[in-house]
């Protein structure tokens, strides 16, 4: 059997469901997901191998107007994610997409469409969250508008949440696979090291529990990540991490009354880590303030976000 491969960039505005879609296609959670925009901060590969075909998905941060140095790094990661791909899946949200003829596209989406044209990428339009669409006739309006702006090779309405339409998308993406050896072993599912995945699991819990600006100003610095045998001979994984935040007031919020919030975050993260590794985990978290770290390239680099 001759091997076939394709690299597919998953791009779009923040919060449209890019990471949810990649996870659903992989059948496994590789990228963290939250209801807050700018959840994904770096390029994350998801590897899908079935028989002779390997699709390498590149999940990217939501493209948005930058407000700090971290945002600029994130937008840069989108551009890098679009380099040398065989196709670009532009993900939009059915509910917030264009509805009436006079309405403009969100600026970030217009920019991405321009970038797809400039790079001469082969585009696919993914209309996500159709489970939330009350009026099905809106779908037709969305398709008419977007296909008038770009010559999409396929248009796939789907729900990354219910899985409705996801198989059809995979079928469309497989058409981009060219004869080439697989880049990754069949058992690989992501390029992220385990250490990064653990730090991300912790950050995800903070995005879920904390509000407003607080979770956006957080980075997780994993200081210890080891497997060891306990006295009773049981294998456990030990995780110690420092949660970096931007202000003293944020630190107070993250820790919570009597440490309750931080404890809750640690417990939720422990559950995920235990499920992921299939063994018991100990999770210890500390909180540290690094003022305005999102504008300090050195710290951004330290946290692996460039």
Q: What's the closest the beta carbon of residue 164 comes to ligand GTP, in angstroms?
A: 8
Q: Which of 192, 254, 261 is nearest to 218 (CA)?
A: 254
Tell me if 183 sits within 8 A of 85, measured CB to CB: no
Give just the sign of the alpha carbon dihedral 42, 40, 162, 113: negative
Please choose which of Mg ion, ligand GTP, none residue 129 contacts, taking the beta carbon within 5 to 8 angstroms, the exact cut-off set by kind. ligand GTP
In the list 9, 116, 142, 160, the residue contacting ligand GTP (rule: CB under 6 A) is: 160
DSSP secondary structure code for residue 190 in this structure: B
Q: Is 129 in the site for ligand GTP (CB under 6 A)?
A: yes
In the region spanning residues 36 to 65, those forming contacts with Mg ion, defined by CB under 5 A, are 39-40
Query: Can you name the residues that pair with 8 across neighbouring β-strands?
Result: 57, 87
In the region spanning residues 17 to 56, those forming contacts with ligand GTP, defined by CB under 6 A, are 17-20, 33-35, 37-40
Q: Which CB sits closer to ligand GTP, 62 or 123? A: 62
Give per-residue burial for 248-262: e unless 16+ CB within 10 Å, then b.
eebbebbbeeeeebb
Tell me if 137 sits within 8 A of 119, measured CB to CB: no
Q: Which CB sits closer to ligand GTP, 76 or 161? A: 161
Q: Is 73 in the site for ligand GTP (CB under 6 A)?
A: no
Judged by the rule CB under 5 A, the positions of this chain that interact with Mg ion are 18-19, 39-40
Judged by the rule CB under 6 A, the positions of this chain that interact with ligand GTP are 12, 14-20, 33-35, 37-40, 61-62, 128-129, 131-132, 159-161
């Amino acid at each position: 059997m001759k091997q076939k491969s394709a690299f597919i960039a998953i791009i779009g505005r923040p919060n449209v469901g890019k990471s949810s879609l990649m996870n659903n296609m992989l059948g496994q959670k590789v990228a963290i997901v939250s209801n807050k925009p700018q959840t994904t901060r770096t390029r994350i590969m998801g590897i899908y191998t079935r028989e002779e075909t390997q699709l390498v998905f590149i999940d990217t941060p939501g493209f948005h107007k930058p407000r700090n140095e971290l945002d600029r790094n994130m937008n840069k990661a989108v551009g890098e994610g679009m380099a040398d791909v065989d196709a670009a899946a532009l993900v939009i949200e059915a509910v917030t997409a264009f509805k009436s003829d006079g309405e403009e596209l969100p600026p970030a989406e217009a920019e991405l469409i321009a970038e797809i044209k400039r790079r001469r990428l082969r585009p696919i339009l993914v209309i996500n969250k159709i489970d939330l669409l009350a009026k099905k006739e809106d779908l037709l309006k969305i398709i008419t508008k977007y296909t008038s702006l770009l010559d999409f090779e396929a248009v796939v309405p789907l729900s990354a949440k219910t899985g409705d339409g996801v198989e059809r998308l995979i079928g469309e993406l497989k058409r981009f696979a060219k004869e080439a050896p697989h880049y990754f072993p069949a058992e690989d599912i992501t390029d992220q090291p385990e250490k990064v995945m653990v730090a991300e699991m912790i950050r995800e819990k903070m995005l879920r529990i904390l509000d407003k600006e607080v979770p956006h100003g957080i980075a997780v610095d994993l200081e210890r990540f080891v497997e060891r045998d306990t006295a009773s001979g049981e294998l456990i994984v030990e995780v110690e991490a420092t949660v970096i935040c931007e202000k003293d007031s944020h630190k107070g919020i993250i820790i919570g009354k009597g440490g309750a919030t931080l404890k809750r975050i640690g417990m939720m993260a422990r559950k995920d880590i235990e499920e992921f590794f299939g063994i018991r985990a100990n999770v210890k978290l500390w909180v540290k303030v690094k003022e305005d770290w999102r504008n300090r390239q050195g710290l951004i680099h330290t946290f692996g976000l460039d």
